[in-house]
Amino acid sequence: RKEVEQDPGPFNVPEGATVAFNCTYSNSASQSFFWYRQDCRKEPKLLMSVYSSGNEDGRFTAQLNRASQYISLLIRDSKLSDSATYLCVVNIRDYKLSFGAGTTVTVRA
């Protein structure tokens, strides 16, 4: 079983729509969770950390479900600039992070 698994998508949505996707992780002892975004031929950039209580950052909402070992990301009122690959990131042991393969989101006009 992979350490972090994501639905690769692609999710093709119109501007203004809501899109949501999950990732699952295998190590129940994981303590840190993040969502990164990566644009084509660019470096991964931190989108947001994910906290146990769930957290929002503008149009983005992240949730953590420790019992079921999954993390979700919801994007409201999608913009064209939200088109990217979203990487689910989990620390697997010590300070090592495991990156999911990414979920591709394309927002169309």
Partner 1 sequence: DAGVIQSPRHEVTEMGQEVTLRCKPISGHDYLFWYRQTMMRGLELLIYFNNNVPIDDSGMPEDRFSAKMPNASFSTLKIQPSEPRDSAVYFCASSLEGFQPQHFGDGTRLSIL
C-alpha 8/C-alpha 11 separation (Å) is 9
Q: Tell which positions 40-79 bind partner 1, by CB under 8 A.
A: 42-46, 49
Residue 19 or 90: the one with the smaller Cβ distance to partner 1 is 90
Strands 11-14 and 103-108, by their bridges, are: parallel
| Candidate list 28, 81, 94, 109; residue touching partner 1; CB under 8 A | 94
> Are 48 and 57 contacting, i.e. CB atoms less than 8 angstroms apart?
yes
Among 9, 69, 97, 106, binds partner 1 (CB under 8 A): 97
Q: Look at phi and psi of residue 32 and say left if phi exceeds 0, alpha if psi is from -120 to 50, else beta.
A: beta
CB of 59 to partner 1, least distance (A): 20
Which residues of this chain interact with partner 1, rule CB under 8 A? 31-32, 34, 42-46, 49, 87, 91, 94-102
